[in-house]
Structure 1
Amino acid sequence: MGIDQKSPAITAKIAHFPDPAREKISRIRDMIHDLAAGLDGVGAIEESLKWGEPAWRPISGSGTTIRADWKEKTPDQVMIFLDCKTDLIDRARSLLHPELTCSGNRAVIFALDQPLPENAIRTLLGWALTYHLDRKKRA
């Protein structure tokens, strides 16, 4: 799979989701690519399936892996998963709380019958894409 190209495996996985889930995961996918192109130090994104879930990782090493998925056992929602060893979910919970529903230290949940809170998602995805850059600046 070429770098910063949309993976056929992810496209095929998303194609099997119900329409509302497919639309939301596709929108999250587009946001990741759009943000990566516009954030200094991020650059190209590699797409893959991790644990069977669509995943995105900055090739530059600027950030942490982002995963997003819809699951049959929770058919009324989609989720964004982040590395549980980061503070990203804690930041989301404290700074973006009214717009995001967080689960533990690893996931943000979005109901299929509600519009995506795009500004909050963009902020969260930006934090994930620049996580390692931000840590270097704070050190």
Structure 2
Amino acid sequence: MANTTEQVLSIYPAAAQEKIRVLRRLVIRVASEQNFGEVIEAIKWGELSFSVKSGSPFRMAWKAKTPTNFHLYFHCQTKLIDTFRVLFPDDLQFEGNRAIVLKLEEEIPTEVLYRCIAIAMNYKNLKHLPLLGQ
């Protein structure tokens, strides 16, 4: 099994590699600009995983069974996806209570995902608030 970011990405088609790299840079940018501290990157279930001390971990991946999409996965027992559905009903597609579905051929909705990632990175401070304080 792949155990580094580059090993995981090397399994993906070129278009997915490019999109995931853009998304990874966005994660690092959000953490830096919002002062969330160090981003801990790991490989979990063969997927890229990201976490900060104040947040709920999330993962990103491309899967062969849905080759035209890639996903941003959140812990299914959080209020994150439910909140994102209310905040961004027309901007994002969702899979159950665990993922934002993104299309490889579409531009990444950077501004919306910036907000989603920032909320996830601050989840421990927001989880008691209605709509996570949004």
State the distance in 1 between where 2:113 and 2:38 align: 19
Alignment root-mean-square deviation, CA = 1.6
> Does residue 128 of structure 1 match 2:120?
yes
Gaps of 5+ in 2: none
1:13-51 CA distances to partner (integer Å, 9 max, x unpaired)? 1133112111111111111111111213x1001111111
Q: Secondary structure at the match of 1:64?
A: coil
Q: Map residues 1-139 of structure 1 onto 2, 5 A cutoff.
A: 9-40=4-35, 42-58=36-52, 61-135=53-127
Shift of 1:80: 0.2
> Which amino acid in the other structure matches residue 112 of structure 1?
L
> Which amino acid in the other structure matches residue 49 of structure 1?
I
1:87-126 CA distances to partner (integer Å, 9 max, x unpaired)? 1101111111111001110001011111111111111111
User: Between the two proteins, what is the percent identity of the paired residues?
Assistant: 29
| TM-score with structure 1 setting the length | 0.86
4+ residue runs of structure 1 moved beyond 4 angstroms?
none
State the distance in 1 between where 2:93 and 2:109 align: 11
Please say if residues 91 and 112 of structure 2, whose CA atoms lie closer than 8 Å, have aligned partners that are also in contact: yes
Gaps of 5+ in 1: 1-7
State the distance in 2 between where 1:112 and 1:136 align: 34
> Which amino acid in the other structure matches residue 68 of structure 2?
D
